[in-house]
């Protein structure tokens, strides 16, 4: 099953099972904005449960929080992460406080999409996972495989607590499955940690190399165990992230150094986007996203 179909199936199942679950956000009834992931939802569940809102990201986020405090389970969608900045007050000052300060359960799933490339430029491309691993109170999921795209969305909704689920449009037409790492202990190699689409990049970058590839899909709360176990074997860590520096990957590197410094034979290396905004022209865009050339 394709990644995008997995998301779509999860949404159909979740909304069918529980009539408290509903989808809300700007563009949720339009495949132009939300792609094939929302296919058939409007026809099946009606506009009462597929609420296509005015472009008022901040208020709409507050509205979703309010419904979650009053017995509903909203899935709040941002077809592009770039527009989440408008909603940052509600996402940070309200949503993330509910559990920790007010002791409220907040059954809110925030579904955000990284939608970049194709000359979409600096404000239609951002990957902001690092902002939300930074803010207390969020669980952050970034599925890579089709099966996880479905399972993690279901998990996010059924957990009944604040979760950010981030998908990547570059994965929509893929059908990736989990495979155990083929690392060979007899030779030297490296631990490579990837998230989201970078799993695909890593396959290209390290083709025929002896790497222990660990793809992280739950960025927060992070399970460091498998990464540490791997570093005990390899002594080297490379982190690949499709975002700016100073975010999740930097924090991961620090945590690794905290936990198993004495097993590292070299300082951790982070390969991520350059410290600049995404350019628009295809020529520049290709340079901006071509990780393999940057290594």
Partner 1 sequence: MEVIKKFETEIGEAVIRGDIKTPCHLCIGQEPVAVGVCKALRKTDVIYSTHRGHGHYIAKGGNIDRLHDEIYGKETGCTKGKGGSMHLKAPEVGFMLSSPIVGGTIPLAVGSALAFKMLKKDSVAVAFLGDGATNEGVFWESLNFSAIYKLPVIFVVENNGYATHLPYQNHSRGSIMCKANEFKIMVESSFNDVNEIYRKTKDMVYRAKNGYGPQLLEVETVRECGHVGMIDERKI
What distance in Å separates the CA atoms of residue 295 and residue 285, rounded to the nearest whole number?
17
Closest distance to partner 1 from the beta carbon of 137 (Å):
13
- CB nearer to partner 1: pick between 66 and 118: 66
Taking the complex as a whole, how short is the minimal distance between the CB of residue 131 and partner 1, in angstroms? Answer: 18
In the complex, minimum distance from the CB of residue 96 to partner 1, in angstroms, rounded to a whole number: 12
- Number of other CB atoms surrounding residue 47 within 10 Å: 10
CB of 114 to partner 1, least distance (A): 25
CB closer to partner 1 out of 12 and 49: 49
Q: Is 221 in the site for partner 1 (CB under 8 A)?
A: no
Binding marks (x or -) toward partner 1, 98..127, rule CB under 8 A? --xxxxx-----------------------
Q: Decide whether 101 or 284 has the Cβ nearer to partner 1.
A: 101
Closer to partner 1 at the Cβ: 79 or 189?
Answer: 79
- Which of the residues 42 through 101 are near partner 1 (CB under 8 A)? 48-49, 53-54, 56, 58-72, 89-90, 93-94, 97, 100-101
Comparison of 60 and 240: residue with beta carbon closer to partner 1? 60
Q: How far is the CB of 87 from partner 1 (least distance, A)?
A: 10
Closer to partner 1 by Cβ: residue 53 or 125: 53
Nearest distance, CB of residue 162 and partner 1, angstroms? 14
Q: Which is nearer to partner 1, 43 or 48 (CB)?
A: 48
Q: How far is the CB of 86 from partner 1 (least distance, A)?
A: 9
Ordered DSSP codes for the chain: --HHHHHHHHHHHHHHH-TTEEEEETTTT-HHHHGGGGTTHHHHH-TTTEEE--S-HHHHHHHHHHHHHTT-EEEEEESSGGGGGGGHIIIIIIITHHHHTT------EEEEEE---TT--TTS----HHHHHHSTT-EEE---SHHHHHHHHHHHHHTTS-EEEEEEGGGTT-----------TTS--EEEEEETTHHHHHHHHTTTS-EEEEEE-EEES---HHHHHHHHHH--EEEE-SS-SSSHHHHHHHHHHHHHGGG-SS--EEE---SSPPP-SHHHHHHHH-HHHH-
Given the rule CB under 8 A, which residues bind partner 1? 22, 48-49, 53-54, 56, 58-72, 89-90, 93-94, 97, 100-104
């Amino acid at each position: 099953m394709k990644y995008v179909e997995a998301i779509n199936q999860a949404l159909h199942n979740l909304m069918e099972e529980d009539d408290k679950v509903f989808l809300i956000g700007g563009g949720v009834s339009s495949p132009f904005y939300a792609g094939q992931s929302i296919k058939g939802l409007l026809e099946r569940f009606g506009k009462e449960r597929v609420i296509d809102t005015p472009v008022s990201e901040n208020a709409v986020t507050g509205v979703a929080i309010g419904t979650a405090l009053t017995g509903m389970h909203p899935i709040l969608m941002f077809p592009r992460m770039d527009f989440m900045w408008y909603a940052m007050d509600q996402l940070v000052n309200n949503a993330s406080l509910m559990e920790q300060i007010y002791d409220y359960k907040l059954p809110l799933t925030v579904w955000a999409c990284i939608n970049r490339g194709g000359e979409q430029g600096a404000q239609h491309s951002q990957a902001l996972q690092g902002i939300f691993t930074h803010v207390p109170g969020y669980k952050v999921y970034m599925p890579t495989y089709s099966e996880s795209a479905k399972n993690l969305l279901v998990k996010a909704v059924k957990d009944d607590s604040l979760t950010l689920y981030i998908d990547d449009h570059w994965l929509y037409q893929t059908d990736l499955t989990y495979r155990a790492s083929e690392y060979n202990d007899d030779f030297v190699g490296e631990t490579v940690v990837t998230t989201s689409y970078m799993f695909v990049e890593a396959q290209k970058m390290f083709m025929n190399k002896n790497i222990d590839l660990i793809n992280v899909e739950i960025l927060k709360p992070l399970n460091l165990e498998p990464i540490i176990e791997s570093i005990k074997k390899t002594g080297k860590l490379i982190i690949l992230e499709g975002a700016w520096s100073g975010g999740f990957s930097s924090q991961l590197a620090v945590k690794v150094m905290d936990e198993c410094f004495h097993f590292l034979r070299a300082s951790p290396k982070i390969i991520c986007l350059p410290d600049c905004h995404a350019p628009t022209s295809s020529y520049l865009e290709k340079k901006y996203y071509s990780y393999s050339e940057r290594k």
